[in-house]
Chain A
Amino acid sequence: MSPLTPEITLCPLPQTDGSCQYTCPTSRTTILTSVNGPLEVRAKDELPNDATIEVIVKPGIGVGGVRETRLSTLLQTTLKSLILTTHHPRTLIQIVAQIVQSEDHTSIPLLLSPLLNSTILSLLIAGIPLRTTGWSIHLAVLPANTPIPAAHKDTILPNEEGESAEEGAMETDEGEGREVIVRNPGRVLLSKAKSSHTLVFSKEGQMLLIESVECSEGVGGESADGQGWDIEEWLRIMRIAKGLCCGEGVEVVRDALGDRKIF
């Protein structure tokens, strides 16, 4: 068991069709998801040829606001392309995700990846027909020479030699070092990051969701001029994420489901 393997509990809620509790090993974000379906659908939401997918994200603190609506929209659109909705037309597949614990209850980068992974596992347990499975990873690019606590050394991704070497050095003003890419960083590490990338890939390596943002700290205005990244830099990060999702992501799903003969 590697320290980077998420803690997964399947079926913690016996009353639902499928449920999963997922804890990200590094950011300690804990999500509990439940899936019920196919259920009877409300007449106004009924679709003649497809199942209606309803996603509710419940915040850990307070009542749901625009951030939760946004998260549920992101989840819903991704799941719509994963679930074979035509197999259960005129029904409802209801997904509830409860944010149990997070270092920041409103941060999309910290929440989105665990939310997606947990939901996908719940769907598999609930026996909802899926086109394929997917896995999500969150990567952050830290400026060179960022001190990384020893506990998080494992999260640094090996930086393969490539044409991006000069660019990496050019971007950072302080010293000759290279940018560092870490996976699933916690809040403290994320606040030092230059950019954050949440990516979801299917088992076959198709891009399902991209949520990449520039996130360096600053006062804004002119100091922000020239921030961002060139598309080649992004492609490099994207390929790293693809490798991780299709490689160990698939392994994690397989191990979690074990001999359930679903996967």
Chain B
Amino acid sequence: MTGTAFDSIPTDTNKYVYQMASPAPMSLEPHGHIPKPPLTFSTSLFRHISPTLFLQRHLLQNPPTRPNGRQPHQYRDFTLTTNSLSHAHGSAVVRTGDTAVVCGVRGEILELAPGDDPSRFETYHHSSTSAVHSYGSRGSGGASWGELITINVELSTGCSKKYPLGPPGTLAQALSDQLRELAVVSKLVNLSSLGIYNPEERHDPTVKPRGYWCLYIDVLCISLDGNLLDAAWYAIVAALVSAKLPKASWSQAEERIFCDGSSHHPILLRRSLPFVTTFAVVPICESTGMDAIRCSGNISTCIVLNDPDSYEEEEAIETLAVLSTVVCEDSDVDQINAPSMRTRVEKIEKTGGWNLEESQIIHCTHLAAAKTRDYDRVLLREGLDAVQI
């Protein structure tokens, strides 16, 4: 491939011209036979044979446009359906573009065994000083809450060409752990609201719970086209908001826990729901040979793509995920980037690459805020008031 270059900027036609570096001028053809036309490819072929350049050429347009037609800051529309699974206590189906995720929440009762210290179930980031922990069993430290909330991710067979049949791969495992971490960081669920008490003793605040509701959260990805993290987390939040556990209480006479399906056990969630927004960072200068590209006023060597699809994820060398909530005045709800709106960041994770700059991270938090508000609005439209108990 040396001596060749993709010199053409894509035009509005669907043809890309693949030119030799120094094509022989047509008129000076010495032997007089008909010169070969420059080698051309269809868009779809270019897309496959040189994905890096294909993506870069798109992003170098003015205004930068992604191959999927979106602007760099634009995220895909999403739809949310809750409580579509009848066997789960709460469920949600989220679809953004071609990524579709089903999440089910199932509650199971955990009866406290002698020697169990309820306080260790009721705090996130528990600073336990108990001997078991200093004796280094694996589940020490912050993992104790994990006995109440378990998150598991599964990629269904055929959800994407990349992930073949078999035991959970690296992606599913890393994602399970990431979602688990998000649940701890955001402290989404009030753990003490999962306690099951003897109704006769309930008025006494010193009394210990008799058991707990354990929440098993299963996420199944049915179709994968990038950015599974955002969709999975949104599905988890929506499923928890919609979840209705049966009323459980301890019966002193029978010495066991009973469930009553006619009323509900409330799961208390946060008032300000946190959402995660993922960005892919695509470098745009090194392989094109240009020193620096002007984008959005700043000289930068990379472009940040909001809500990447799997084609963009493949090319991205850097990923940024922001978990944030928005605190804003009710009056200017519809105005994005309003000065009264404060973004509270709860987690920033950036992996791979080295191009991302401070200013871009700030910009990303603003984009995350906009998406967070949209997420919240759709949840409300689903007829679910997050505040309602």
Contact = CB atoms under 8 A, between A and B. Distances in A.
Interface of A: 59-62, 66-67, 69-70, 73-74, 77-78, 80-81, 103-108, 187-188, 191-192, 202, 206-231, 234-235, 238
Interface residues of B, number: 63
Interface stretch (B28-36, B64-72, B188-196, B207-215): B188-196
Nearest to B363: A231
A213 B141 CA distance: 16
Contacts of A210: 320, 348-350
A231 B343 contact: yes
26 contacts: A61-B137, A70-B173, A78-B351, A78-B352, A81-B354, A104-B140, A105-B138, A106-B139, A106-B141, A188-B127, A206-B354, A208-B354, A209-B350, A214-B346, A217-B125, A220-B187, A220-B190, A222-B270, A225-B270, A225-B325, A226-B327, A228-B324, A228-B325, A231-B361, A234-B348, A238-B358
Contacts of A212: 345, 347-349
Given A66-B174, A230-B343, 4 more contacts: A61-B137, A219-B191, A225-B270, A226-B344
Given A78-B351, A188-B127, A217-B125, A207 B141 contact: no
B344 A229 contact: yes
Given A219-B190, A228-B324, A81 B170 contact: no
A220 to B, nearest CB: 4
B123 A217 contact: yes
Contacts of A61: 136-138
Interface of B: 122-127, 136-143, 170, 173-174, 176-178, 180-181, 185-193, 268-272, 274, 317-320, 324-325, 327, 342-356, 358, 361-362, 365
A108 B327 CA distance: 29
A120 B342 CA distance: 38
Contacts of B325: 225, 228
A106 B138 contact: yes
Contact of A221 (B125, B181, B187, B318): B187
B346 A213 contact: yes
A208 B350 CA distance: 8
A230 B344 contact: yes
Contacts of B124: 217-220
A185 B190 CA distance: 27
Contact of B353 (A59, A70, A81): A81
A260 B157 CA distance: 51
A207 B344 contact: no
Contact of B125 (A81, A216, A238): A216
A108 B361 CA distance: 22
A207 B350 contact: yes
Given A61-B137, A212-B347, A225-B272, A80 B352 contact: yes
B152 to A, nearest CB: 9
Contacts of A108: 181
B191 A222 contact: no
Contacts of A222: 190, 268, 270-271
Nearest to B129: A188
A221 B183 CA distance: 11
Contacts of A107: 141-142
B237 to A, nearest CB: 13
Contacts of A66: 173-174, 176-177, 180
A227 B192 contact: no
Interface centre among A59, A217, A231 (most CB of B within 10 A): A231
A78 B356 CA distance: 13
B143 to A, nearest CB: 6
Contacts of B319: 77
Contacts of A225: 270-272, 325
Contact of A219 (B123, B136, B320, B346): B123
A110 B162 CA distance: 33
Contacts of B327: 226
A210 B178 CA distance: 14
Nearest to B357: A207
Contact of A211 (B126, B170, B349): B349
Contact of A231 (B127, B141, B181, B365): B365
Nearest to A195: B346
A104 B352 contact: no
A221 B122 CA distance: 11
A78 B349 CA distance: 12
B174 A221 contact: no
A207 B354 contact: yes
Interface centre among B324, B325, B344 (most CB of A within 10 A): B344
